[in-house]
Amino acid sequence: MSRPDAQPIPSPHFRLPASPRPDLSIVVPVYEEAAVMPVLVERLGAVLNALSVSAEVILVDDGSGDETLAEIIKAQARDPRFKGLSLSRNFGHQIAISAGLAEARGSAVVVMDGDLQDPPEAIPSLWAKHREGFDVVYAVRASRPEGWPKRVAYAAFYRLLNQLVSISIPLDSGDFGLMSRRVVDLIVAMPERRRYVRGLRAWVGFRQVGVPIDRGNRYAGRPKFTLAKLIGLAIDGLIGFGEGPLRPVGGLGLAAVGLSLIGLIGALARGLVGWGFAAGWAWVAMGLVFFGGVQLISAAILGEYVGRILQEVNARPLYVARSRVGLEPADRGEDLSLNAWLIPDDSLRHAQPLP
């Protein structure tokens, strides 16, 4: 594949001279957030100025169809601390975060949502805790503005998750938080395609601490997470961290088999002592439905695991980037493990400062 206009990708042996590491990188996935971008850029800029650390902000445009990328280019022109990576299509929140982590060069990296639900003003308290020696400082939601059905669903999910999986993922914490360089390096080096970043972050270990932070309201626009995407994320969290969910299903199956055996023996005994057999078809129908259900659940859970194995075996790149705004030219040596591809898009050439 040699397109005349494709950027040559240097071999891993050829390293570009690295510019000095900033103290802090902020990774923000943004999907169709053009309406929020100006305020986001302004509030983030103010917070970073006040914190007086060297910083970069990596805005990951997750294949937006609106003016999000144009806003990123504008922000970069005004303040070179703002940089952008634009993905070739919508890859989803968790992959956008992973792409940002692969690009982030800071000694510490903050991940936050782009809709201002994670307040930029909380970054100094994350940074202060990090300076006390913590590798991971995650925001624990002190309050949520969402209505009660969503709050109850979240609370139930996080408690179920901790019962079922083999690592303990902090309750009521999202992706908003700070990670040290070594934690980011480890997460970027993890090859899995289905990424549940807060789970990977908990898995890494070291010193981790939560700080209570109020979750604000979305600044503008509609939530980009559909119910289906939220359920998908929940399944990734449940399935991605061990065999936990298979066990209760196995238990249910065993219990069902045990019960049916007792019932069978009972029914036979009744017949033998001459009390007559219980009326048949209703029981048979109920039994069929019940065992059919157990089998479907088991098959579905197994299917989730098999699907994941297929995805890992395919080993497609995690994402494709179409343009880079203010980022150093791709040095494939840095995110080889994520196996990301950079295919520049002709229509966006102006966005790429060539080396």
Per CB under 6 A, residues contacting ligand UDP are 29-31, 33, 62, 90, 92-93, 96, 113-115, 117, 218, 223-225
If one asks whether residue 115 binds Mg ion (CB under 5 A), the answer comes out as yes
Residue 71 interacts, among Mg ion, ligand UDP, none and using kind-specific CB cut-offs from 5 to 8 Å, with: none
Among the listed residues 64, 340, 338, 33, the one whose alpha carbon sits nearest the alpha carbon of residue 195: 338
Task: Annotate 231-289 with DSSP letters as a single string.
Answer: HHHHHHHHHTT-STTHHHHHHHHHHHHHHHHHHHHHHHHHHHTTS-PPPHHHHHHHHHH
Q: How many Å apart are CA 169 and CA 191, to the nearest integer? A: 20
Mark the segment that binds Mg ion (CB under 5 A) among 114-122, 255-263, 291-299, 329-337: 114-122
Among the listed residues 130, 139, 125, the one whose alpha carbon sits nearest the alpha carbon of residue 50: 125
Q: Which single residue is written with the structure tokens 């065992």?
A: 291
Q: Which single residue is written with the structure tokens 């206009």?
A: 5
Q: Are 193 and 311 in contact (CB under 8 A)?
A: yes
Residue 113 CB, nearest approach to Mg ion (Å) = 5
Residue 248 CB, nearest approach to ligand UDP (Å) = 27
* Binding to Mg ion, residues 137-196 (CB under 5 A): none
Q: Are 45 and 81 in contact (CB under 8 A)?
A: yes
Residue 25 CB, nearest approach to ligand UDP (Å) = 16
Cβ proximity to Mg ion: between 218 and 308 the closer is 218
Residue 110 interacts, among ligand UDP, Mg ion, none and using kind-specific CB cut-offs from 5 to 8 Å, with: none
If one asks whether residue 117 binds Mg ion (CB under 5 A), the answer comes out as yes
Residue 224 CB, nearest approach to ligand UDP (Å) = 3
Residue 162 CB, nearest approach to ligand UDP (Å) = 20
